[in-house]
Amino acid sequence: MEYDLNTLILSATDSDIEKAAAIIRDGGLVAFPTETVYGLGADAFNEEAVKKIYEAKGRPQDNPTIVHICDISELEKLTDDITDDIKKMAEAFWPGPMTMVMWKKRSIPMATTGGLNTVGVRLPSEEIARELIRKAGSPIAAPSANISGAPSPTKAEHVIKDMNGRIDAVICGTACKHGIESTVIDMTADPPVILRPGVVTAEMAGLTLGKEVRIDPAVNQKIDGEFIPKAPGMKYKHYAPEAEVTVFMGAKPKVRKTMDEAASLLQSKGKSVAVIEFHDAETAARELFDKLRKADDEGMEYVYIAAIPEEGIGLAVMNRMLKAAGYNIVTC
Ligand code: TXA
Ligand code: MG
């Protein structure tokens, strides 16, 4: 595939967002910031445009995109089945980092939902994203704006590195507030099930709905050839930099000692290694993908990274970290 597009670099001014919206209306691709990660958007109802997203990312055809809306009233364009639980979740967590999977309207192209009869919908809190959708006049299908398999982009420079020449435009905003992708929750199940953990936790959803919300067993578990996860995205290699990543688990002082010793050993053999440690889960979420990308930019061959407790948002961070490492774990 040859890419000879000239990617327009846009800012978040009103006139630039209007330019970006015109590109979406014409069936083009625009990357834009959200509060989670940057998205790569196309008109969700334009099948040809959505197909270009898959091409630009090198994304497997059966991995559905998330459809972004700018107002709760747009939900009616996407589903006929707005349940009480969907209303409760929307009221509690939208606009924000949560995607609900629901039965789709037939008018949504199958390319948008990866051939599924359901659609994942999100109302982002990032005003630039909402303004783009508003001006485009249509919901926007958008996976994360990275080459398939690479760490998600949390800064405009990450998008430009992966997508320059492959897409029509990128709106450059600031670094993403949360830094990891939205919680994906399957509302077609009762009680609903978390398919991808995020900032909105199972506990938070459970309190809102007044019922126990479980996490899909495929989360934080190595997936073998036999297992078919409900979120198709879970079965692919994900979030991985070029460098070989190892996660160190155990008590903090022991992890630090083991990582340092292992790093020194590698360095004594002339190998390069980045050692990464986070002090709280929010910072880990915000910085994980950026640090993994930085290790590649600096030509590191290995990344050693300390696990964080799988509590609250820590569960979502560990989900991304373990996938980035291909479940390469050292227990200390
Ligand atoms: O925070 C986010 O969700 C970001 C920003 C741009 O909104 N988007 C994002 O999209 O992370 P993506 O395509 O990288 O991840 C979407 C995930 C995949 O694991 C996909 O399989 C799952 O959501 N998904 C989407 N629609 C689904 C559906 N109808 N049923 C089950 N899983 C679905
Ligand atoms: Mg993604």
From 99, 182, 215, 237, give the residue whose CB has the most ligand 1 atoms within 8 Å, as the site to mutate.
99
The pLDDT tens digits for 100-146 are: 999 999 999 999 999 999 999 999 999 999 999 999 999 999 999 99
Determine whether the shortest distance from the Cβ of 196 to ligand 1 is under 6 A. Answer: yes
Residue 1 has pLDDT above 80, yes or no: no
pTM of the shown model = 0.94
User: What are the φ and ψ backbone dihedral angles of 100, each rounded to 5 degrees?
Assistant: -105, 130
pLDDT value at residue 223? 54
Encode pLDDT of 50-93 as tens digits.
Answer: 999 999 999 888 899 999 999 999 999 999 999 999 999 999 99
Encode pLDDT of 191-224 as tens digits: 999 999 999 999 999 999 999 999 998 776 655 5
3-state secondary structure of 281: helix
Q: Do residues 139 and 67 make contact, with C-beta atoms less than 8 angstroms apart?
A: yes
Rounded Cα distance between 257 and 185, Å, is 38
The CB of 146 under 6 Å from ligand 1? The reply is: no
- Strand-by-strand arrangement of the 118-122 sheet: 8-10, 169-171, 30-32, 39-43, 140-141, 66-68, 118-122, 98-103, 183-186, 193-196, 214-215
Return the ligand 1 atom nearest residue 119 CA.
29
* Nearest residue by C-alpha to atom 19 in ligand 1: 233
Ligand 1 center–CA 113 separation, angstroms: 10
- Nearest ligand 1 atom to alpha carbon 152: 14
Confidence band (pLDDT; 50, 70, 90) for 230? low
Residues 8/168, Cβ–Cβ less than 8 Å:
yes
Our answer on whether the CB atom of 176 is closer than 6 Å to any ligand 1 atom is: no
Mean pLDDT score across all residues of the chain: 93
The position carrying tokens 């590649």 is 296
